Structure 1
């Protein structure tokens, strides 16, 4: 009797989760279907299910792969910026968070207070001084100008600090007795233990960088330097809308994030869970 009730409860839970998944995926499904429709059909009926299903084709994607040269330039810019952001952010933020967690030094608590304070400051307040810095450094319309403010993210520092608080400090003492340097302890012993947190933050930082619109819009000037969000936004103008590239191109933008999540998914839940409760 208990087994039957358990089977029924599991079946109900699965059905409920399936319905929730369908609701969550519905916008993505609509976007995918719309990317297969001709631009004229989109203009006539909009993004809806009330259209002639026989008109679905791959012409929009063929246009992207054969004629939309600017699109792939934007795509490559986003890939380069996102990849560099992930690597540098994980490297520096993990190091800072680790130092704040395991070492005692003068001004440690004050420094961590500044990190938490910056988390509470909206980016819109920081835009103008950051842009003035980029102008003074002559980094406007460059990759470095987009990357520099994002290399050490306060949220990443806070996350790694919380995770590192749960690391076994005894391993550091044992390594020091064996003659290991502090850098050797970090890179060979402690950093591998932080792999779940690195995987989780890689997804979050990659997603944030890939979808970042406001800061690249401020810093970048030339069409060749645009990232995908900015480039796709330029397709919507008062003089005409290129829905062929816009809809199909939006679908293509999801692919790198899916690949990133698949690659790091086994670390994602454990990294967020442990990092969120330590300390």
Structure 2
């Protein structure tokens, strides 16, 4: 009996060791950046990123440069960029989850002519590189007068193909008995979705909230095309402006970049209980 327990525990121990190794490897760059954020720029330019700890060189000046715009003018807009990124990410995530789930739910539950054709078009859009769509989307934003606005960043991707596909697959695995019972009780179709189906799709919402928020928070290509003024920029664009041909503020750039990770960590901790279950169940039909 003890031999069987030892035999069962050995693979678990090996798996635990393997996961620990993977975790250390994954956190190694983050720790190097954390250490570099407390070093002066001269040290970074001379030795680059390293794990050498020299207490006499560690300083909070880099973070002071981020949060004290009156003293250091180069990063005077950092908090404004931070606010813009939070607003755009929050609004985009809510809108994208709402409309994408409605479309995915409709394709999964209702039977109508052209349903398969619409789903095929969603799959085709998933295969088109975003670079091909930049010019027509840019012309559309000019026509709608949405250049240099947050809506110009949000609306072109408000209904995304990946969340539609994910919500459709997830909704196809939900029990349909709730629909018939709700209709008998006189509930409307929108009432069925918002009162019954949406709570059942909570794991899917949690998984997609993390993925879509991460996409919006790190998005660089489309915002840099749409946004013009410094007051409207997001964090990725604003931080990239610190590296110029006339000077490279790598110390401030690293400190500011590390602070951008905090909202993503909070978001993942908030939705982590839905993340794994949402991905595993959403990928299985029925």
TM-score of Structure 1 vs Structure 2, range by shorter chain: over 0.9
Whether 1:169 aligns to 2:176 is yes
Q: What is the Cα deviation at residue 12 of structure 1?
A: 2.4
User: Aligned partners of 2:76, 2:105: CA distance in 1, in Å?
Assistant: 44
- Report the equivalent of 1:132: 139
- Per the alignment, residue 17 of structure 2 pairs with 15
Distance in structure 1 (CA, Å) of the matches to 2:52 and 2:174: 56
Look up the match of 1:110: 117
TM-score when normalising by structure 2: 0.95
**Residue segments in structure 1 that go unaligned for 5+ positions in a row:** none
Aligned to 1:123: 130
1:49 match = 51
What is the root-mean-square deviation of aligned Cα atoms in Å? 1.2
3-state SS in 2 of match to 1:190: helix
Matched, 1:237 2:239: no
Query: 2:72 — aligned with what?
Result: none
CA contact (8 A) 2:173 2:284 kept: no
Deviations 1:51-88 (A, max 9, x none): 74431122211221222321111111100000001100
Q: Does 1:74 align with 2:76?
A: no
Question: How many residues end up aligned between the 2 structures?
Answer: 279
* Structure 1 length-normalised TM: 0.97
Task: Report if the CA contact (8 A) 1:101-1:165 is conserved.
Answer: yes
Please list every run of 5 or more consecutive structure 2 residues that lacks an aligned counterpart in the other structure: 70-74
Shift of 1:146: 0.3
Q: What is the distance in 1 between the residues matched to 2:5 and 2:184?
A: 56
Q: Separation in 2 of the partners of 1:16 and 1:201?
A: 28
Residue 283 of structure 2 aligns to a residue whose secondary structure is: helix
Deviations for 1:144-180, whole angstroms, at most 9, x for unmatched residues? 1000111101101111011000111111001111111
Match of 2:66 among 64, 67, 75: 64
Whether the 8 Å CA contact 1:45–1:51 is kept in 2: the answer is no
